[in-house]
Amino acid sequence: MKTDIEIAQSATMLDIKEVAEKIGATGDDIEQYGKYMAKVSNQFLDKIKDNENGKLILVTAINPTPAGEGKTTVTIGLADALREQGKKAVVAMREPSLGPCFGIKGGAAGGGYAQAVPMEKLNLHFTGDFHAITSANNLMCAMLDNTLKFGNPLNIDPKRIVVKRCMDMNDRTLRNVIIGMGNNGDGVVRQDHFMITVATEVMAVFCLADSLEDLKARLERIIVAYTYDNEPVTAKELKCVGAMTVLLKDAIRPNIIQTLENTPVFVHGGPFANIAHGCNSIRATKTAMKCADYVITEAGFGADLGAEKFMDIKCRMANISPDAVVLVATIRALKYNGGVAKEDLGAENLDALNKGIVNLGKHIENLKKYGVPVVVTANRFVSDTDAEMDVLRKYVESHGCKFTVSTVWGEGGKGGQELCNAILDIMANEKPDYHSIYTDDMPLVDKIRTIASEIYGAADVTFSPEASRALTKITDMGFGNYPVCIAKTQYSLSDDAKLLGRPEGFTVHIREAYVSAGAGFVVAIAGSIMTMPGLPKSPAAERIDIDENGETFGLF
C-alpha cells in the first residue's frame, strides 16, 4: 500500500470554493490561500450565526502508545462515512505543530485513505496561524524586556517573570537560557525560558476566544510577571495588546480544507493536550455546528487528557456539549499496555490483550461520568486476529457500550459505516445528560484531586511547597473559580510514563501551578512533564527531503 504522503499527493481535490459551497459559503465568503485552502470571512460567520446547531460528536482514544491509535484517522473516516449516507457532516480538528512533524509523533492529518488534504501544507506552514501566534507571544516578551531596559516603570521583579518566549519546534536546549548578554545596550541580563508554541497561553487564548473583541480582552488579562511587591503585571500594562491583536486578526478566522473524499474540514488552533488543553478553537467548532448537521471533532491524546479538558474546560467556556463520544482503541495498543514489545505486536497474544485491556475499561468508565453516550471503535490493523477482536468485543459490551470495527485507514468512508450506523442509532435513542465532574466553586486543590482520583485513578495527590503557595496566591487573586488544566504525561493514566495499563495505588505529584488568567484556567504541572519537548535520537527530520520536481517525501 502507498504511504500516507503518496496517497495524499495522488488525491483528487476539489477547488476550495466547491468545498465551501458544501457549508453554504460562496466565493465571497472565503479568503483563499491557494487553490485548496481558505479562511472563512467574518461576514460568513455573521451570516450563519442564527442557524440551528448540528450534533456534536467527540472522538477520543485510550492512552497513546508507539503502536499508534489513529484517533484523527477515525475522526476523518467517520465524517466521510456520514457523507456517504447523505448526511451533512464536517470535521473540526486541530492544526499540527511542526515539533512532532520533525520529531517522533508525526503529523495530524489522519492516515491512509482517511486524511485531510493538502496534507503537506497542513502539516507544515499551512495558513500561517502558528507563526502569527508565535510572533504575538514573542512581541509580548520583547515588550516586557524593553520596559526592564528603560527604567522598569512597572516595578517588575526580573526573578518573577512568568511569561516565556516560544517557537514551534522541539528544542530542549532553549528550556533554560540567559538573555541580555553583551553590551549595555543589549538589555537586562536575566534567565529566560522557551516553550513550544502550542503550550503557550496565547495559543490557549486564541482557541478559547469567541470573537476578536474577546481575544483582545483575554490577551489583556495575561499575567506576564509579578512586581517586587508580589502584585501581578498584565500584558495590558505592557501596552502591547493592540499590536498582538493586529498580528492575530487574520489567524483567528477558521481555516477550511477537505478530506480525500472532499468532506469539509475546519482546522484551527492546536494546543497540545499533555501540556495544554488539547482542543481546536471554539470559533471553528461553533462555526462547524452552524453549517452542518453533524460535526466530528477530536481531543488530543488519551481521554484522560484531551477528553477531560474538552468536557471540563472547553464545554464549560463555550456552552456546548457533545451528543456522543467515540472512544478509539487498537488491539496493538492494548497488547502494548499488556507488556508486549512494539516489534512483537503483530503476533496474536490473548494473554497480553486481556492484561492490557483494562486501560480501555478505565477510559470507558471515565467518559460515562460525563453523562454522554459512548461508542467504542476498534481501529483494525491487518495483523489483528478474529480471536483478538472477539475478546475486545465481549469486553466492551460487558461495560455497556456499543462496539464497532473501523477500517477507514484502508477503505476511507466505506470502512466507517459500522461506526457511522452505531453513532446515528445512539443519538436517535439516547439523550445525553452532560455535566462536568467538578463545580466552579470547588477549591482548586479539590478540583485537582477530583481529576486525579476520578479520571486518573490516583490514590493520593501531593503538592510541592511551591505549588501549594501558588494555588493559595491564585485563589487570593480571585481565580479560584477557574477550571484546572493538568499537564502530565500522555503515556499513562498516572504521571509516570512507565505505568501502563490501569495502574492503582499511585500518587500524582503536582510540582508547579500557575494561572492562565487570559485563557481562563489554572495550570497544574504533574510529574516531569516538559513544556518544551526535545527531539528523539533519530528524529523524523533525518528522513524528510524534497526532489528536483519539488515533491516532498519522507514526511510520513
Instruction: Go through 392-417 and write b for each residue having 16 or more CB atoms within 10 A of its CB, e for each that does not.
Output: beebbeeeebbbbbbbbbbbbbebbb
Between strands 374-379 and 324-329, the pairing is parallel
E strand or H helix at 81: helix 71-84
537 catalytic? Reply is no
Q: Which amino acid is at 353?
A: L
Among 242, 238, 264, 283, smallest CA distance to 129 is for 283
Question: Is 79 a catalytic site residue?
Answer: no
Residue whose cell numbers read 496493538: 332
- Within 8 A by CB and 6+ apart from 3, the residues are 556
The residue among 234, 233, 210 whose CA lies nearest residue 222 is 234
Tell me the three state secondary structure of residue 151: coil
Q: What is the dihedral of CA 418, 420, 422, 423, to 10 degrees?
A: 160
CA distance 89 to 72: 15
Catalytic option among 105, 332, 335, 447 = 105
Catalytic residue among 94, 216, 283, 286: 94
Annotated catalytic residue 409: yes
Q: Which of 22, 39, 55, 71 is catalytic?
A: 71
Q: Is 73 a catalytic residue?
A: yes
Counting runs of H as helices and runs of E as strands, what totals does the chain give?
22, 25
Task: Please say if 472 is a catalytic residue.
Answer: no
Q: CB neighbours of 400 closer than 8 A, spacing ≥ 6?
A: 368
Nearest CA-CA partner of 410 in 113, 116, 119, 115:
113
Choosing from 194, 266, 403, 409, the catalytic residue is: 409
Phi, psi of 115 (to 5 degrees): -130, 155
**From the candidates 273, 452, 517, 519, which is the catalytic residue?**
273
DSSP 422-484: HHHHHHHH-------SS-TTS-HHHHHHHIIIIII--SEEEE-HHHHHHHHHHIIIIITTS-E
User: Choosing from 130, 310, 381, 556, which is the catalytic residue?
Assistant: 381
Select which of 60, 65, 72, 73 is catalytic. Answer: 73
- Please indicate whether residue 55 is annotated as part of the active site: no
Q: Which of the following is catalytic: 130, 206, 266, 301?
A: 301
Q: Is 21 exposed, middle or buried (0-12, 13-18, 19+ CB in 10 A)?
A: middle
Give the whole-angstrom CA distance, residue 239 versus residue 253.
24
Q: Among 74, 40, 52, which Cα is nearest to 266's?
A: 40
Q: Hey, which residues are catalytic here?
A: 71, 73, 94, 105, 273, 301, 381, 409
